[in-house]
C-alpha cells in the first residue's frame, strides 16, 4: 500500500519529494507551453517581457515630489507635494521607478495573481538599470523587503517584495535583511481605501528588530499613497534604524487612484 508507506515518511522527506515533483512538473510545463510575455502574451524566454514590451519600462516623467516621489503638476511651485508639506513621512526619501499602469504592473500582477514569481526577476533587472542616483552615492547597509503576513504568504506561496529585493541584492552586493521586519497584523488589502483609511489600516502592523544604526532601504513591489512603507519605516526607526529610504518597483499615479 504505497499511500500507507508515504504517510510514515518523516516530514522533511515528504517536503523534499513534494518540491522535487513540483520542479519536475514546472520543467515539463515549460517544455510543452512556452512562457508568454506578461504584457502582450506573445512567446518569450526567460519569463517577463518580450523584446517589444520591455522598452515600455521607462522612468516616470518629472516633476516629482522630492520626498515621496509622487507626480507634481507641471507648473508646481514647490518641490514637495501637498501631502508631504502637510505631514512629512517617516522615511527620508522614496522612489517609485515605473508607472504601475504600464508593463511593470503587468509583471507584478503576473507574479501575484498568475503564479509567475519569476516575472519579478525581469523587474529587478530593470530596477538596477534605473537605479536612483541618490542611492548610488550612499548605498544602504541593509535592504529589507516589506513583509507579507504569514497567512498571506502561505496563500500566495511567495513574497513579491522579497523576490524583488533578492534580485537587487545579489548583483549589487547589498545585504538582504529577511528577518528584521515582521508583519504582526494581517491587514486587509489597501486597494479602494483613501489615504487616511490606508494609514489607519496599517498603523502598528509592523515590528522591527536588530536594525539599530542601520541605513535601511525598504523594498516593495507597488506604492500608492505610501501609507504601508511609512508604517514600516516608523517601526524601523522606533527600533533604532539610523535612516530609512524606500524603493518601489512601481507607483500608482495620482490620476489612477
Contacts with Zn ion, residue ranges (CB under 5 A): 37, 39-40, 50, 53, 65, 67-68, 70, 81, 84
Smaller CB separation from Zn ion, 37 or 119? 37
Q: Number of helices and strands (H, E) in the chain?
A: 10, 6
Shortest Å distance, C-beta 70 to Zn ion: 5
Smaller CB separation from Zn ion, 37 or 126? 37
Q: Inter-axis angle of helices 195-202 and 227-238, to 10 degrees?
A: 40
Smaller CB separation from Zn ion, 34 or 139? 34
Shortest Å distance, C-beta 127 to Zn ion: 19
Smaller CB separation from Zn ion, 79 or 200? 79
List strand residue ranges (DSSP E) for the chain, in order.
93-99, 142-145, 181-183, 206-208, 215-223, 243-251
Shortest Å distance, C-beta 21 to Zn ion: 31
Secondary structure element (H or E) that encloses residue 156, with its range: helix 150-156
Q: 3-class DSSP state for residue 248?
A: strand
Shortest Å distance, C-beta 235 to Zn ion: 21
Smaller CB separation from Zn ion, 210 or 254? 254
How far is residue 22 from each of residues 17, 87, 182, measured CA to CA in Å? Answer: 9, 48, 28
Cell numbers for 31, please give them.
517544455
Shortest Å distance, C-beta 37 to Zn ion: 3
User: What is the Cα–Cα distance from 146 to 229, expressed in whole angstroms?
Assistant: 7
Give the ranges where 33-101 is alpha helix by DSSP (H): 82-86
Shortest Å distance, C-beta 82 to Zn ion: 8
Q: Inter-axis angle of helices 103-112 and 160-172, to 10 degrees?
A: 120
Smaller CB separation from Zn ion, 1 or 86? 86
Amino acid at each position: 500500500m504505497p499511500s500507507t508507506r508515504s504517510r510514515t515518511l518523516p516530514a522533511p522527506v515528504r517536503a523534499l519529494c513534494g518540491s522535487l515533483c513540483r520542479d519536475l512538473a514546472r520543467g515539463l510545463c515549460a517544455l510543452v507551453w512556452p512562457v508568454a510575455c506578461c504584457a502582450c502574451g506573445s512567446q518569450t524566454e526567460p519569463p517577463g517581457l518580450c523584446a517589444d514590451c520591455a522598452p515600455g519600462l521607462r522612468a516616470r516623467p518629472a516633476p516629482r515630489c522630492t520626498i515621496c516621489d509622487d507626480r507634481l503638476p507641471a507648473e508646481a511651485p514647490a518641490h514637495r507635494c501637498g501631502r508631504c508639506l502637510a505631514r512629512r513621512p517617516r522615511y527620508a526619501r522614496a522612489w517609485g521607478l515605473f508607472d504601475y499602469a504600464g508593463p511593470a504592473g503587468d509583471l507584478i500582477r503576473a507574479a501575484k495573481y498568475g503564479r509567475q514569481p519569476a516575472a519579478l526577476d525581469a523587474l529587478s533587472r530593470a530596477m538596477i538599470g534605473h537605479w536612483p542616483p541618490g542611492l548610488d552615492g550612499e548605498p544602504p547597509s541593509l535592504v529589507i523587503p516589506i513583509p507579507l503576513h504569514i497567512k498571506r504568504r502561505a496563500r500566495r506561496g511567495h513574497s513579491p517584495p522579497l523576490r524583488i529585493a533578492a534580485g537587487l541584492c545579489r548583483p549589487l552586493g547589498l545585504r538582504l535583511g529577511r528577518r528584521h521586519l515582521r508583519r504582526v497584523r494581517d491587514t486587509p488589502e489597501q486597494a479602494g481605501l483613501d489615504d487616511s483609511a490606508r494609514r489607519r489600516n496599517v498603523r502598528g502592523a509592523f515590528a522591527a528588530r536588530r536594525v539599530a544604526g542601520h541605513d535601511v532601504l525598504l523594498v516593495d513591489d507597488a506604492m500608492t499613497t505610501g501609507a504601508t512603507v511609512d508604517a514600516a519605516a516608523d517601526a524601523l526607526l522606533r527600533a533604532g534604524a539610523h535612516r530609512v529610504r524606500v524603493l518601489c518597483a512601481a507607483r500608482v499615479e495620482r490620476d489612477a487612484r
